Amino acid sequence: MSAEKKDETTQRGGSPADPAAVTADEPNGPPPWLLRAFLLAAATVAGLVAGFWVLQKLQGLLTVLLVSLFLAFAIEPAVNWLARRGMRRGPATGLVFLALIALVIAFGWTLGKLLVDQVTTLVQNAPEYVDQVVDWINHTFNSELSGTDIEKYATDWSSSLEGYLTGLAGNVWGIGTAALGAIFQGLGILLFTYYFAADGPHFRHAVCSLLPPRRQRHVLRAWDIAVAKTGGYIFSRGLLALIATLAHYIALRVLDVPSAFALALWVGVVSQFIPTVGTYLAGALPVIVALVHSPTTALWILGFILLYQQFENYVLQPRITATTLNMHPAVAFGAVLAGAALLGPTGALLAIPVTATVQAFSSAYIRRYDVQQDIHVDRPQPRRPHRKWLSRLGNRLSSTHTPPTP
């Protein structure tokens, strides 16, 4: 066989006739999956960036929907109660809305009348108050302050306040735009709340129709828990507000503080429906009003508010919220702080019912065990050889070394 035929036969059989030629035929580029992986990673990053951008732009709308859903959960028990008695859900929701709007208007009217009365009293008695303050400062600090000095300070403060108000009036366009936006946002919340409450069963059916039957049961259960916890939260807070209003009204009437009902209503509502700082805001106004009339009365009011808060925190609130929220105070406080950090005042208001809903939903699927209180862990004792084991070992050794009997 010639050399050419051997080379041809060797190449056909698969043996490399020329290593350089074989190396040249091998692919030197990147693997084909690398480009697809790179494109997938780039698309994922672009989708995340676009999603965050959309969420940032729609933050106001999402906040409106979240508040509306919370309010719809809050009024749904009342709407369901009216619907079970033959009223259609649309008129029932409208009736509940009218009752709530009437309560808000009455609350604002009462506090507005209180503000007007106190400002009028303060303006009429301003010279007398100034003389009393001057005498108290001179007697306490051994100074020689006069009414002329107070008038000079008041003139300086009024000039500063006038400049501030002038600058504020120059930005009237921005203030008007913000007020108009707040009005439209409030109307949007009312509109979405009405639709969520009136069409609650249809909305729930539409959401569950997108899920398989196995998941629908969990969604319906979570929905019922959210409605129960939110309604229970509003009911418990309303009951605590009513008790606080009655208690503070009696105390203010006994101490002869003017506008006792308005102040008591302020304390009851603000202390219960504004988380964390509501107690301090609620107690500050009665103390200030009482301080204008008598410092001794203001001290008595402050003492009563502190004692009532302790009574409410340790006696009333645990008993009333035991069946509605069943949440530890530390967990509630942490939830309020977390909600305020995420969504500001709106998050602080929604934090407690949302946390109670999550806690109740998780407790339905997490199994818990009873802790045995009579278990005592003793210190490990050093191991000692057992006597029976030693006796058996001795018997074996003795039987081994004992000579057989003849």
Residue 2 placed within a domain:
no
Residue 44 placed within a domain:
no
List CB contacts of 196: < 8 A, sequence separation 6 or more.
68, 69, 71, 72, 203
> Helices (DSSP H) in 344-383: which residue ranges?
345-363
With 0-12 CB in 10 A as exposed, 13-18 as middle and 19+ as buried, what is 271? Answer: buried
What DSSP assignment string belongs to 312-338?
A: IIIIIHHHHSTTTT---HHHHHHHHHH
Q: Which of 25-39, 98-112, 182-196, 227-241 has the lowest mean pLDDT?
A: 25-39
- Distance of alpha carbon 111 from alpha carbon 263, whole angstroms: 8
pTM score: 0.65
- Distance of alpha carbon 300 from alpha carbon 257, whole angstroms: 11
Residue 277 placed within a domain:
yes
Kindly report, residue by residue over 292-322, the tens digit of the pLDDT. Answer: 777 788 889 999 999 998 888 888 877 777 6
Query: Chain-wide mean pLDDT for the chain?
Result: 76
Q: Print the domain residue range for 151.
A: 91-165+215-363
Q: What is the 3-state secondary structure (H, E, C) of 112-168?
A: HHHHHHHHHHHHHCHHHHHHHHHHHHHHHHCCCCCHHHHHHHHHHHHHHHHHHHHHH
Is 138 a residue whose pLDDT tops 50? Answer: yes
Kindly report, residue by residue over 324-383, the tens digit of the pLDDT. Answer: 666 777 777 788 788 878 877 777 777 777 887 777 767 766 766 777 665 555 555 555
Residue 322 placed within a domain:
yes
Radius of gyration of the chain (CA): 39
Residue 186 placed within a domain:
no
Residue 80 placed within a domain:
no
SS3 content of the chain, % helix, strand, coil (to 5): 80, 0, 20
- Structural domains in the chain (count): 1
Residue 321 placed within a domain:
yes
